[in-house]
Amino acid sequence: MVEFEEIMDEEQQQDNAALTRSQERLSDADEIEAALKHLTRPSARLHVENLIVRLRKEGKALERVASSSKSGETAKGTAGGGESMEVEPTETPQPPIPLRTPATVPPVSTSKYRSFPTYYFDAGSYNSPTVSVYVPLDNIGSHDKSKISCEFTSSSFDLIVTSFEDGNDYRLLNDNLEHDIDVSKSKYIIKPNKIILKLGKIKGEYSYDHWTQLTAKKKKDKGSKKDDPAAGIMDLMKDMYESGDDNMKKMIGETMYKQRMGQLGKDGMGGLGGMDDFGI
């Protein structure tokens, strides 16, 4: 059973936290931009400029999330009522539709579901136990709770809102998360004007996984990697080569060349292929 919560007395605290993170990102961007003038290498300047753009984008997104919540509180106070309630979501199976990754694929073009107008990802602090996805939708707090559901798996979430007041059904599906999640610690929270998804991070030996984005850059193929352990190593080596500096590329290139020429022995590099396997 997926945990569902509607906690009105925590809303101000969460919004303040979002606003604080927004201010931190904007302040970081300003300070980094001030130091940009000391960089002379074009490639270094490009990396730093991209970081500044990303920080400001995240800061503005978190600022909008906090602002939308405050406007929702004002409307709710005018209408009256403020009791918290806890309802478990329906388990009625939903009809299947084509899978998609919202962050990288255009909206689903089916007659059944529409994409949510927008959503925001918040990676949280360095060692926070969850990451958050904010899904704004006006007046969602007054919608029939049995028509709101979210299913979590170790690598996906599937948020569905049916028969909304505008006559539309909405869906947000992501089956290619950057990291696996802890389903037992994942939940969704309904606010007056938004839905918040809390995705439980996996904790390793020293700390939780470090998230930089919601969706993985490459489509995961867990089945093939499980059948072929070398595939995961090959992907790692290729990523190291593509993102590494000149010394890293030289080291990997020399090692793979020696392995291909048989200079590392039969078991060199675990029997991996040569540089042709990297497409380089």
pLDDT in tens, 71-100: 555 444 444 444 333 444 444 444 444 443
Question: What's the rounded Cα separation, in Å, for the pair 76 and 85?
Answer: 15
Q: pLDDT higher for 203 or 15?
A: 203
pLDDT band with cut points at 50, 70 and 90 for residue 205: confident
User: If DSSP codes are grouped into helix, strand and coil, which group holds residue 175?
Assistant: coil
- CA neighbor of 14 nearest in space, from 89, 88, 129, 124: 124
Share of the chain above pLDDT 70, in %: 60
pTM above 0.85, yes or no: no
First vs last C-alpha separation in the chain: 48
Question: What's the rounded Cα separation, in Å, for the pair 212 and 219?
Answer: 16
Q: pLDDT higher for 272 or 20?
A: 20
In tens, the pLDDT along 217-255 reads: 888 665 544 455 555 566 666 666 666 677 777 777 777
Question: What's the rounded Cα separation, in Å, for the pair 202 and 160?
Answer: 25
Share of the chain above pLDDT 90, in %: 30
Tokens of 174: 């992501």
Decide if pLDDT at 157 tops 90.
yes
Decide if pLDDT at 138 tops 90.
yes
| Cα–chain center distance at 82 | 31
In tens, the pLDDT along 160-202 reads: 999 998 889 999 999 999 999 999 999 999 999 999 999 999 9
The pLDDT score that the predictor gives to residue 253 is: 75
Q: pLDDT higher for 114 or 245?
A: 114
Burial of 150-166, coded b for 16+ CB within 10 Å and e otherwise, reads: bbbeebbbbbbbbebee
User: Considering the chain, what is the average pLDDT of its residues?
Assistant: 73
Amino acid, res. 113: Y
The pLDDT score that the predictor gives to residue 81 is: 42
The pLDDT score that the predictor gives to residue 73 is: 52
Q: pLDDT higher for 188 or 52?
A: 188
- Please answer whether residues 194 and 133 qualify as being in contact, where contact means their C-beta atoms are separated by less than 8 angstroms: no
The pLDDT score that the predictor gives to residue 127 is: 84
Decide if pLDDT at 24 tops 50.
yes
Question: What's the rounded Cα separation, in Å, for the pair 264 and 258?
Answer: 6
The CA-based angle 42-46-52, given to 5 degrees, is 140
Burial of 207-223, coded b for 16+ CB within 10 Å and e otherwise, reads: ebeebeebbbeeeeeee
At a CB cut-off of 8 Å and minimum separation 6, what does 184 contact?
A: 200
